[in-house]
Chain A
């Protein structure tokens, strides 16, 4: 009777210790797993959305958090982002009005993953799904201005963004400058500075700082990243 009374607590201790040892072993195996294989299967949004029973907004949130972790992990390791585009596509299809995956996802695709076509496609998808929001035409204008150097298209997007509610005060100034076809470097500095000030992500902020420093080196120290903004000559 006494033996059986002791047996259960002993087995309990063994089971608990065994589970801890196994968990640690599995954890080590997890750490050795090949990076970039986090999402072996990303389902099609059209099929997945009905199965979420109205909880697609939460699913998009959780996937977005996963994307941020994915980018962070790969940024610190191999700097390869093979599934980023597909994951962003899924997150934005699950919740087309969720702006952050378009905006930051666009930055990730453009500057970290070096997929400009995917970035533009994502931003255009966002602009079409959110016709009342200035942010996405603004970001498309920024892409065409800074990266593609297609000032006509940049102007087209910014002109559109200017008409939308809540747009920043500097946008009409950019449009005016583009019309005059002058001051491109200063506009570029202001764009990067704005991104640096508003970014809540270290990678984006570091990227903006690098670009500001580069432009400063080319155009002279007309701008600082301490929040002072561009200095007029």
Chain B
């Protein structure tokens, strides 16, 4: 119950933020702008609209996730509301969980609005609606939920600027981990291969949550792999949130 109250308050606070609206409006303008871009292309308009739309949702979603996640604890300290909250009969882990769920709700609304915009645009252009497109948007949301958890973990012990930097670095590393492993297997020595292997399993494998190619080209998506990817993301998010809770429990606020 307490977690739900904190989550709802976090959501209300986030949706009052004007920067969030600015990002959202900009993303929707970019989505609409892709229709102008396709007029100077030859053929392949549907593909370009879907590609650009999914990229827009991904990039602006990343901005929102990083922006919201990294300000999680620092904002509360800055406004001194944290001291009031932790003095109440509420566990610190409940506070972190509530905050995180509030951010996920905010992200859901934002990605939902952008996703509906893209699906609407694809419908206008193609005359049909695509379930695959919805699936790709859902997987982008899942990726952003994971990114928010990363941002929140760093926010639990670091400044917003550093947290944002670390989050973006981990986002990049998460997309490169499979390639690093491949390069190490081809060119590296035994130690490099071992390091790449460790990093591959330790870093979030974000490329597993990328369904853009399959969606745009209409390639069959294996249900089992997809389900496993969802479970993988849930486990990874759980680990990150638990780590953030553990750090926040030990943090000294004076």
Contacts and interface: CB of A to CB of B under 8 A. Distances in A.
Main secondary structure of the interface of B (DSSP, over half): helix
B41 A64 contact: yes
Q: For chain B, which range describes its interface: under 10, 10 to 19, 20 to 34, or 35 or more residues? A: 20 to 34
Given A54-B206, A54-B207, A61-B47, A100 B42 contact: yes
Interface in A53-81: 53-55, 57-58, 61, 64-65, 68-69
A131 B213 CA distance: 17
Contacts of A61: 41, 44, 47-48, 51-52
A68 B212 CA distance: 24
A98 B55 contact: no
A43 interface: no
Contact of A200 (B43, B175, B207, B213): B43
A204 to B, nearest CB: 8
A54 B51 contact: no
Interface in B50-105: 51-52, 55, 58
Contacts of B206: 54
B43 A104 contact: yes
A197 to B, nearest CB: 14
B37 interface: yes
Given A50-B176, A61-B47, A104 B42 contact: yes
A227 B222 CA distance: 43
Given A50-B176, A50-B179, A65-B37, A57 B43 contact: no
Main secondary structure of the interface of A (DSSP, over half): helix
Nearest to B212: A57
A69 to B, nearest CB: 7
Contacts of A98: 44, 47, 217
A101 B176 CA distance: 27
A219 interface: no
B213 A99 contact: no
B216 interface: yes
A58 B43 CA distance: 15
Given A64-B48, A68-B42, A100-B44, 10 more contacts: A54-B206, A54-B212, A57-B212, A58-B55, A61-B48, A65-B48, A68-B41, A98-B47, A100-B43, A104-B43
Interface of B: 37, 40-44, 47-48, 51-52, 55, 58, 171-172, 175-176, 179, 206-207, 210, 212-213, 216-217, 219
